[in-house]
Structure 1
Amino acid sequence: MKFFISFILGVVLLSRFFTYNISDSMPKGFYYLSVKTESIKKGDVVVIPIDRLNKEMQDMIFDRGYLPKFTKYLIKEVKGTHEDDIFLEVNELHISGEKFKIRKYDILKRSLPVLNNEDFILKKDEFITLGIKENSFDSRYFGKIKKNQVKYIAKKIN
């Protein structure tokens, strides 16, 4: 019985400090979670609870099967901050000289949300978060992320 209780406590504690990414939009594997989100910066990998996105985006993620319904988090990299020059131009998102393709349709030919330049005007505590894959469902489609939407900063465990 003591082993079972110790095992359960270990799993609970580990789940508080680690998560496993199953999505192709970021490298798959375990990530260490830090609750210190006061100073999010470009290049940080952030964990965003899906329930902190607007209802329309939550429904799109689950109804279209982008992620399984048991998934609680999106894991994305901060690619843009209020200090960056960010604008849209012909199906591309430009962030301080880097270009990121914006698709009109997902891989099953379903239309994706269309944003405009106003959606990418960032205040101090707002960020553009992207996955590493061109077909990632990220800020290109759901817009900026506010600091209070981020629950953790994550570090990939190699």
Structure 2
Amino acid sequence: MTSAPIRLGRGFYWQELTVGDRYSTYGRTITSADISTFVGLAGMIEVLFTNVEYRKTESTLKGEPSPGALVLSVAEALALNATAQETGLAFLGLSTLDIKGPVQAGDTIDVEMEVLSVRQESNGDRGLVRTRNTVRNQEGKTVMVYEPLRLMMGRPQ
């Protein structure tokens, strides 16, 4: 009888995380298509995101900037794929969200996560995990820092 193969890529159960643990993700490049799709979908028709001539002549921010909400969304996708695939149950909120600098089309971001707190949830088989997620660009500059709280699965009994 053959045993089932081990599935690679599964996230951590809350009991496997310890305060002070640090993890980093692969990078992902933010493209012009990402920005225009996100801006259109979200209805963010601000001229900063939709008017090249405005950015050239009137804006202090040149290039093709990405909305902070897009950067957060991509950072969350990177973090979840790295640590909570199949084990993350709910995103419960942010205690902080600080945008430290712009992300432009063509920039590549990655995320470093540090576990700040881990505790058993009142249900007993689930846990609450807070991390500090530092988003950096390809030059290593911090562009965003946020602290999400997640509900995570516990180890199967």
For normalisation by structure 2, the TM-score amounts to 0.27
For normalisation by structure 1, the TM-score amounts to 0.27
The structure having more radius of gyration, on CA atoms, is 2
Which structure has more strand as a fraction of its residues?
2
